[in-house]
Structure formats: structure tokens, C-alpha cells
Amino acid sequence: MTNNWLDMQHSKVFLIEGSNAAENHVMSMKWIRKAQEKGAIIIHVDPRYNRTSAIADIYACIRPGADIAFLGAMINYILQNKLYDEAYVKLHTNALMLASQEFGFEDGVFSGFDEATHHYEMASWSYQTGADKKPKKAHSLDDPHCVFAQLKKHYSRYTMEMASQITGMSSEMIKKIADTMVNNKPGTILYALGMTQHTVGVQNIRCYGILQLLLGNIGKPGGGVNALRGEPNVQGSSDMAVLSGYMPGYLNYPAHNEPTLKEWTKNNGTFRAKFMVNNLKAWFGDQATPENDFGYGWLPKRSLKANHTVYGFFESAAKGDLKMLYVIGQNPMVSNANLSMTFDGLAGLEMLVVHELWETETAAFWKRPGTDPKSIKTEVILLPACYFMEKEGSLTNSGRMVQWRYKALNGPGESRGDLEILDAVFRKVRDLYKDSTDPKDQAMKAAVWNYPKEGMAEAVLKEINGFDLKTGLPVNGIADLQPDGSTSCGCWIYAGCYKGGKNLSKRRDNKTDPGGMGVYPGFAWCWPGNMHVLYNRASCDEKGQPFDPAHKLVWWDAELKKWAGFDTPDVPVATDGPDTPNGQRAFRMTGEGVGRLIAASYKDFDPKEKDKELPRDASYTPKDGPLPEFYEPVESPTENALHPNRKSSPVLKYPRVKGKQPIGKVADFPYVLMTSSIAEHWLSGSVTRNVPWLNELAPEPLIEIPLKLAAKLNLKTGDMAKVSSARGDVTVKVEVTRRMQTLQINGKEVTVVWMPYNWGFQGLSTGVSTNYITIDAVDPVAGTQETKACLVNVVPAEGGHHA
Amino acid sequence: MSMNRRQWFKVAAGMGAGLALADLGVNVQQVHAATRGMKLNGTAEYTSACNFCSCGCGMICHVKDGKLINLEGDPDHIINQGSLCSKGAAMAAVPNSPQRLKKPMYRAPGSSDWKEISWDDAYDRIARKMKDTREKTWKATEMDGDKQLVANRTDAIAFLGAAQNTNEECYLITKATRLLGTVNVEHQARL
């Protein structure tokens, strides 16, 4: 989230698209309803009318996977009718920067595309630059070469009529939503997996960024782009880089073409290299020196050709390449798409290790009904883990708030906390290598790893916060971190969580709220630097004064000559005023220092840098395009109306494994299936399906179908239906409902059906897993599967009719 | 309105299902407060935060004789101000659930059953398998076309999961896996 839960009370309009917040993030409603009581308008865009729709002021039904057509039409409408916030756009975005003259887009493809490799060369997605290597700027938004003009041109194809045809929404509804967003500011956008589980997931969210920048809604209280994240600590686990592509704090993970720290810095910049050095100091201590590149060479390097992501694991295991999988509190045998592939992967392993509370479907995959355990050669070790209240440690919520949890009781039997287990396993492996001089074993031997048994979690949190290595004291914030190895920090964005030697995640001051803005700076701690609204410098004008003085959050205090506010100001240096370049960098984490309408390919060079080869920072560009473009889901019931020759994303690779990843055709599978969780069961259900009263509330999987389809198939609520896709079939109970709709898409009827995916063959409540039929085509950038849109057929199951 | 937790209990106890009983002449507020007091007498309170979605709602665990006897929303928490949803409230069932695993279990290749093993045995088997796999599958370098690149890793070991874990556990997963020589580290964020 750019903002946070409490901040939602300041919003005047909510666009909730791709989230059923009322069921899946229930407590968000405390703050959303507070705003609604004050007159805020709630817009809910979703293929399914759910409990969030029920409290919305405006509900719009959209076809799954058609979001970019809808959002593109809103962007076009705002641009064509000059409804954008011109002062904000000129000051805080790259609108005026001159795009490269090589940049282009034709028939569904951006410039630089190589058809043979499905790969874009990004050079033409850059700027026209001056002698200082900085982007040249136009004087007016009317300049035909500026980014703003390119944006206008790109979205001019997204007319209301076109969007209506693709999405199934009426032109009037799209216009109504756009006008509501324009006329009610600040406005916020909330999303969840409904937007990310697509093969265009990253570009879906890029639309939000563009829209909010045009409306001037980023950095302001009540504004922002807010991901309602789906797991208790998925924010923290991402921050800590439990992802193959990152080091902690979203530093790009070193690749095999970056053998030295200098090569890595050429691609990532000196600004981030400083944090990499601090990370390496945290891991290798005294063994990390400037002479040995701070131990950079010890890190394994990721391949740019191999698939190091979760779907790659199971494909690799099924081939026999991945031998050992170690799973901690995840249940892929229910939650992965295309479960047959996941099963083949588990069966292809030599050893599976699982830390769990329960005997999950993953741990017990060899017991799957219909499987002969004798045929499964995988060795399985299942370790009893402690629940969150049976151990201590911190977690980070969606608003980046890091809070401490105390141990309340011991876990049952011989269960142990994951921290203790990980520590023991690592030490045990390291012991096996104690006499090794092999270079491959030196990383673990050089590492600092001597955590105390008592207070281990706090010792680790201190390492994450970092130390001044001269004094041995914890650093107080990011500004303390040095590039020369004199400080360490395990995750640079958490620097300061142990400020003054105190664990700030334990703070509980729920009374002090300067300005009454709901910031509560003394309650727990937010990364970075206890900042609650990211990019908050953008809530101020050129002179550093709030655009809206009635809802001010931060400002330049000319008397004190520093940035001040109710929240930590998001500026590079607190004393660099608006008359300095730093004081105008409202989006300091981009190379350009401004919000990026086009995600241009750009490296920022610092003229003061001694080594002219090294950029200060490098901006991020998604590999599937600098601007969001609408592409149909891999399994789609219709053609791409914008460019019939380019139906799905050109950089997409699917199937990845021949014969295991079939693509269904609309002639065989005429309906669109979307899946999600429900209020009573959570994700794979490993916890909730072991809670008896939740099982009573929601006892079994089902399919919701619209009235029209029910009439056609002669199905009634309570009947059984067989739901099949190109990957398999499941038989479940039918619920006939007005929630789901039959839409008019490109002149034809398209029916959308829905299923929850929370069941499996283990636990107190068992049921078929919907993910046997979902598709594991993934977003080319994020690697997230397209579980929100695939094609299925529905037929009455034999003997399933009421007598 | 500003209240501490005790005041909140008193007010909350006076609301809800009490109206019908009040007609019978019972002082509902007193009865509720007293029964609640009995239930929580002698308990230790620990603050925590919910483990389902990412709202980060505050919770209070009441523990007596090492058992969780009550779980409720933390009224002093800035986000949920005492409320919990259907799933959050249901977490009270987990520590006392008979379904919880209590011992390390081992399933041999081709076997139809688990057997109990000791923690030391489990650690030994895991560590030996990791070493053995590293030895057999290590790539010091790899080819990209005709270019030799540094790999310094094994692709035969992978780790999955951590969104259910604390920041400290996540950090050690990241650190341990990279030190062991694999970049195959993923979790629920990808899904």
C-alpha cells in the first residue's frame, strides 16, 4: 500500500476493483464505512456481485480479464476532456519529458519486439536525453513528442464503445465511474488478487498508477494505490526477499551476467549498491571487505534463462531436476493452479520437507484419493510447527506497519517454532562442511550465524535493522547507512525499526495523533522511517506547501528550514528545500524523481560520481511493455477487439511443458470461470477447514451460475454439476444466483461462473479442489497464474438432479 | 470517545443479547461483567496480531495454566479497535485443536504410512540430504550460448513459503538459502 488502513477515512471516493474487501479484508470496512458516513462514494467493479458490492454506491459488472479496457477508457476520457490535475501532472510526473523518437506501438506490439524469443529490446522505450544524460523536457503538455502526448495517442484507441464491447460494461457506466473519480478527490484505489491473477496482472496495476497520477491522488491522505494483501505477513516476507528475484528491500537479486559488485551496480546504480554492501556486511561481517567485494562473489547467481519461480519448481521436479523441496506453511497441493502439474512435481522429488501445524494435502500428497502410495518414491519429513501465538516475532501488515507479537503459550507436543527449526537445520548443514575448503561451501562458512537460543527473534530483528560497526550500536535509520562497510543492515528499508536500541515494533501509543490524521506515529513502526503515506511530498506544490491546506500531512517549514509534518516527510534529505533538486523529487525511488506515466527505460547518472560508468539509480520497466495494453486471457471466449492479430500478451510463453498445459477452446469450454476465497475459508483452507464452526458455516465447495445458464442446463440450487476444463473436471453442488451474469461481449453472449478454491482431501472438511481445472499460464513479469479467467464447461452431473 | 480496556469490557458487556433477560428483572450488565470476570480471573494477557489477511488486527490472548482460554480483538489497537472477523475470531480453535501435529513424522519412499521420528533424526536426514544434493548437482558455471557465466548454485534444492511467518523467520529463510547456494526461494506472494 502507498497509504494505510486508517488513512482510508480521508478518501472521498473508493474504486474497489479486483477485491472483495468486505469478505476478505473485513476490517478495512471499519475505515471505508467511516468515510462513507462522511459522504464518500464507494465504487465496486467486479464480475461477481458480492458483499462488497452490497455496500457500494455504484456497482459495475465487468468480464474477468477485461480491466485494462475499462481503465484505459477512463484514462482516455480524462485525457481527452482535460480532466487531469494539470499542476500535479506537470510537477510530479514525467509527462513533460521527451520520449524517444524510436518509441512506437503498432497492431498490439510495442517497438523493439523480437517475435522469435517473445522478448522486447527496451532501448526505444527511453527518453531523448541531453548532454547531462538527463531527459529533455518539453515546455507544454501539447508538445507532440512528450510522454503525455504518447500517453494520449496510446489510449485514444480506448473509446467508450470499444471498452464497452470488451468489458460488457455500458459506456454510461464507465463515464459515470470516471466522472465520480474526477469530481471527488482525494480518491483511493483498492485491489487484491482479482487484479493480479491474470497474465496482464502487472499492467493492470500500472493502469492504477497512471490513473492516480493523472488525478493527482498519489502521496495525499485519502489517495494512493492500495494493495489489500492476502496473507498476514506477505508484506514482510516480500520485504525480506523470500522471492528468487530479490535481495532484502527489493534489491534485484544478482544474476549470472553480474559476476562482480561493479557489474551489478552498472545495472542497479550506486544508490542501491550502498544497501547491497550493508546487506553483505550483515551476512558476512568481518569477512566482507572492500577487497573481496564484501563477499558478493559468494552469493549464488540467478540464471536469466531458468525459471526460479514457484511454477518453475514443480515443472523442474516433474522432470527430475529439482530433488529436494522444503515447504514452510504453504499448501501448493490446494492453492497452485493446474494441480495435476503440482502433483507430478511432488511425486518427482527425492525429498519433501514440510513445517506445518497440520497434515496438509501437500505433506500427504502421496495419500491423495486414487493414488497408490507404493508408486510414490518421495521421502517426506513433516515437522510440527508452532502457531503464531506460540512464538514471538514481528509481522508487517499491508500498510507496512511492523508490529510485535508476544509468545502467549507453548505449542502442543513436541512442536517447535520455525525460527528454531531453521537455525538448527542451517547449523547442522554447516557442521557437515566444517572441514571443507571447497569454494562452493565458503558462503556458509564465512557467514555470521550465531543467534542466541533465548531472544533469537529480537537478535535477528536487530540484524535486520543494522549496526554502526564502529560503535556496535543499532543504526537509527536509512540515512545512517554507509557505502564503505562501516555499517551493516539486513534489510535497508527496515533501518530504524530498532532506533535508539529499542524494538519500536512493540510501541503501543494509541493516543498521540498529531493533526488528527490517523497517523499514530508512536504505535508500532512503519517502514521506511516510520512513514505512513508514501510519496507524501507529492501532496505539496512546487514551494513545498500542501495543495489542500485543510488536509495537510507534510510541508516545507521555511522558518525551521526543514521538511516537517504529521507524518515522516518522503524526501531524500529533510533539510533540502523545494528550491533544490532533492526538494522536488517527490518520487525519489525512481531514477527521474517523478511519477512515471510511461515506465521508460532510464538510468540516472550523478555528475558527481567518480566512476562515470556507474549510474546513481535505474528505473524499473516491466518487460511486457512501458504502458498497459489490453490483451485477452490465454483462455478467452472472444477475439481481441483492439488487435485481432495479437490476442494475448506477446511476451507470454504458454504452454511451458508440452502435454501438461493444454489450452481450451471456446467451442468445447464455452463459459468463463473465476475463482476466489470466501469469508469463512481462507486460501488453501489448511487452518479454516480445521475449525469446526467455520466448516458449519461453509461446508463444501460449489459453483455459482447465473439464472440464464441454470435455465438452459435445467439446473437448480442443490443439484450436482460437472465442471470441466482442458485440464480436468470436478463435480460440485450448484448454486443458482443473480450474483453471476451473462454479458454481451463483442456482440455475443458470454456467461461467467464462479467457484471458491479452498478445499482439498485433508482436514475436517474435505472437498474437491477447484485448482484441478484452473490454468497455470502466468504473468510474464510477476509469475502469477491466471486463476481469475479460464474456460470451462458445465453440465448436470449424473444422478445429481433432484428426483 | 476514549476508554481503557476494562471500561470497554463493562460497556460491551451491557450491550448485545441482554435485552430479553432485562425484562426478567436481571441486571444484565452486572451478570455479564461478573461471568466475564470469572472467566478471565487469573489469566495472563498477551497482545498479538491476527494471522489471516494483512489488516494486522490486534488480538489479546488470555492464557491460564498454559492453555489459551480466550481470544478477542484488542480494543486498544488502532486498526481494529477491538473487532475481529469470523476467521480472526476462529483462531482460538487452533492451539487446542486435536488435529495439530505433535511429533516429527517420516514417510519412507513407497510407504503407505507415517512413522514418528525424533527431532535429531529429522534434522540429520534433512542436513545429509542437503549436503548430498549440493554435492551431486552443484553448478560453478553455466553456458549462455558460447558465453561462460558464473552460477555458483544448485538448482536441485528449493524452498517454498513464508507469508505465514514472522519477519525474522523470513529473513533467516532468505539468508540461509542463499548461503546454502540456491536462489530457488519463493512463497505465496507469487500467487
Q: What is the pLDDT of residues A375-386, one digit of tens each?
A: 999 999 999 999
Residue B124 with chain A: CB contacts under 8 Å: 428
| Residue B24, min C-alpha distance to chain A (Å) | 31
Percent over 90 (pLDDT), chain A: 98
- Kindly identify which residue of chain A lies nearest to residue B2, measuring between CA atoms: A511
Beta bridge partners of B47: B60
Cα–Cα distance, A213 to A535 (Å, whole number): 11
Determine the residue among B79, B112, B120 to mutate to test chain A binding: the one whose Cβ has the most chain A Cβ atoms within 10 Å: B79
Query: How many pairs of residues across A and B have Cβ atoms under 8 Å apart?
Result: 480
Determine the residue among B46, B55, B59 to mutate to test chain A binding: the one whose Cβ has the most chain A Cβ atoms within 10 Å: B55
Residue B114 with chain A: CB contacts under 8 Å: 382
Strand B67-73's sheet: what is its strand order?
B44-49, B58-64, B67-73
Residue A330 with chain B: CB contacts under 8 Å: 160-164, 187-188
Determine the residue among A3, A326, A683 to mutate to test chain B binding: the one whose Cβ has the most chain B Cβ atoms within 10 Å: A326
Determine the residue among B2, B51, B54, B97 to mutate to test chain A binding: the one whose Cβ has the most chain A Cβ atoms within 10 Å: B54
Q: What is the pLDDT of residues A471-501, one digit of tens each?
A: 999 999 999 999 999 999 999 999 999 999 9
**Cβ–Cβ of A398/B55 closer than 8 Å?**
yes
Q: What is the pLDDT of residues A440-466, one digit of tens each?
A: 999 999 999 999 999 999 999 999 999
Domains A232-397+400-449 and A671-796 share a fold: no
- When pLDDT is averaged across residues A141-145 and rounded to a whole number, the result is 98
Query: What topology does CATH give the domain B43-100?
Result: Phosphorylase Kinase; domain 1 (3.30.200)
Q: What is the pLDDT of residue A355?
A: 98
| Residue A340, min C-alpha distance to chain B (Å) | 17
DSSP B13-41: HTSSTTHHHHHTT--HHHHHHHHHHHHHT
**pLDDT over threshold 90, residue A610:** no
**Cβ–Cβ of A393/B166 closer than 8 Å?**
yes
For residue A434, how far is the Cα from the chain centroid? 40
- Find all residues with CB under 8 Å of A442, minimum gap 6, and list them: A298
Residue A615: is the preceding peptide bond cis (ω within 30°)? no
- Find all residues with CB under 8 Å of A712, minimum gap 6, and list them: none
Q: What kind and span of H or E run contains B67? A: strand B67-73
Q: Residue ranges of the domains in chain B? A: 1-41, 43-100, 101-135, 138-191
**Cβ–Cβ of B61/A409 closer than 8 Å?**
yes
Residue with cell 521538511: A563
Cβ-based neighbour number of residue A545 at 10 Å: 14
Q: What is the pLDDT of residues A336-372, one digit of tens each?
A: 999 999 999 999 999 999 999 999 999 999 999 999 9
Q: What is the pLDDT of residue B26?
A: 59
- Find all residues with CB under 8 Å of A642, minimum gap 6, and list them: A69, A108, A157, A162, A166, A629, A630
Grid cell in block for residue A155: 489510449
Beta bridge partners of A705: A736
Q: What is the pLDDT of residues A212-223, one digit of tens each?
A: 999 999 999 999
Cβ-based neighbour number of residue B38 at 10 Å: 9
Q: What is the pLDDT of residue A605?
A: 96
Residue A6 with chain B: CB contacts under 8 Å: 78-79
pTM above 0.80, yes or no: yes
Question: Length of chain B, please?
Answer: 191
- Which of B77, B144, B174 is closest, CB to CB, to A241? B174
- Kindly identify which residue of chain A lies nearest to residue B152, measuring between CA atoms: A300
- Kindly identify which residue of chain A lies nearest to residue B128, measuring between CA atoms: A429
Q: What is the pLDDT of residue A796?
A: 97
**pLDDT over threshold 50, residue A801:** no
**pLDDT over threshold 70, residue A569:** yes
Of A570-584, A733-747, B4-18, the one with minimum mean pLDDT is B4-18
Cα–Cα distance, A296 to A275 (Å, whole number): 12
**Cβ–Cβ of B102/A785 closer than 8 Å?**
no
Q: What is the pLDDT of residues B106-161, one digit of tens each?
A: 999 999 999 999 999 999 999 999 999 999 999 999 999 999 999 999 999 999 99
Beta bridge partners of A105: A110
- Kindly identify which residue of chain A lies nearest to residue B191, measuring between CA atoms: A784
Instruction: Judge whether B152 and A301 are in contact, CB under 8 Å.
Output: yes
**Cβ–Cβ of A409/B67 closer than 8 Å?**
yes
Q: What kind and span of H or E run contains A207? A: helix A201-214
Q: What is the pLDDT of residues A292-325, one digit of tens each?
A: 999 999 999 999 999 999 999 999 999 999 999 9
**pLDDT over threshold 60, residue B20:** no
Q: What is the pLDDT of residue B86?
A: 87
Query: What topology does CATH give the domain A6-227?
Result: Dimethylsulfoxide Reductase; domain 2 (3.40.228)
| Residue A797, min C-alpha distance to chain B (Å) | 31
**Cβ–Cβ of B170/A356 closer than 8 Å?**
no
Angle (CA) A123-A124-A125 rounded to 5° is 90
Residue B171 with chain A: CB contacts under 8 Å: 240, 248, 460, 463-464, 490-491
- Kindly identify which residue of chain A lies nearest to residue B182, measuring between CA atoms: A300
- Kindly identify which residue of chain A lies nearest to residue B109, measuring between CA atoms: A377
Determine the residue among B5, B137, B164 to mutate to test chain A binding: the one whose Cβ has the most chain A Cβ atoms within 10 Å: B164
**Cβ–Cβ of B149/A357 closer than 8 Å?**
no
In the predicted model, what is the mean pLDDT of chain A? Answer: 97
Cα–Cα distance, A591 to A620 (Å, whole number): 9
Of A209-223, A381-395, A508-522, B24-38, the one with minimum mean pLDDT is B24-38
- Which of B63, B90, B149 is closest, CB to CB, to A409? B63
Grid cell in block for residue A779: 504473468
**Cβ–Cβ of B52/A425 closer than 8 Å?**
no
**Cβ–Cβ of A313/B158 closer than 8 Å?**
yes
DSSP A322-389: --EEEEES--HHHHSSSHHHHHHHHHH-SEEEEEESS--TTTTGGG-TT--GGG---EEEEEEB--GG
DSSP A133-185: SSBPB-SSTT-TTBHHHHHHHHHTT--HHHHHHHHS--HHHHHHHHHHHHHS-
Structurally, at CATH architecture level, domain A232-397+400-449 sits in: 3-Layer(aba) Sandwich (3.40)
Query: Where residue A196 falls among pLDDT bands split at 50, 70, 90?
Result: very high
DSSP A579-607: TSSGGG-TTTTSSSSSB-SS----EE--T
Nearest CA to A212 among A365, A85, A31, A82?
A85
Interface confidence: ipTM more than 0.85: yes
- Which of A313, A389, A784 is closest, CB to CB, to B61? A389
**Cβ–Cβ of B133/A350 closer than 8 Å?**
yes
| Residue A511, min C-alpha distance to chain B (Å) | 9
Residue B184's alpha-carbon distances to A245, A312, A322, A442, B159, in angstroms, are: 9, 9, 10, 19, 6
Query: What topology does CATH give the domain A671-796?
Result: Barwin-like endoglucanases (2.40.40)
Determine the residue among B46, B85, B101 to mutate to test chain A binding: the one whose Cβ has the most chain A Cβ atoms within 10 Å: B101
**Cβ–Cβ of A330/B187 closer than 8 Å?**
yes
**pLDDT over threshold 80, residue A735:** yes
Residue A186: is the preceding peptide bond cis (ω within 30°)? yes
Residue with cell 491423495: A368
Q: What is the pLDDT of residue A394?
A: 98
CB-count exposure of residue A803 (10 Å: 0-12, 13-18, 19+):
exposed
Q: Residue ranges of the domains in chain A? A: 6-227, 232-397+400-449, 671-796
3-class secondary structure per residue, A726-754: CCEEEEEEEEEECCCCEEEECCEEEEEEE
- When pLDDT is averaged across residues A646-670 and rounded to a whole number, the result is 97
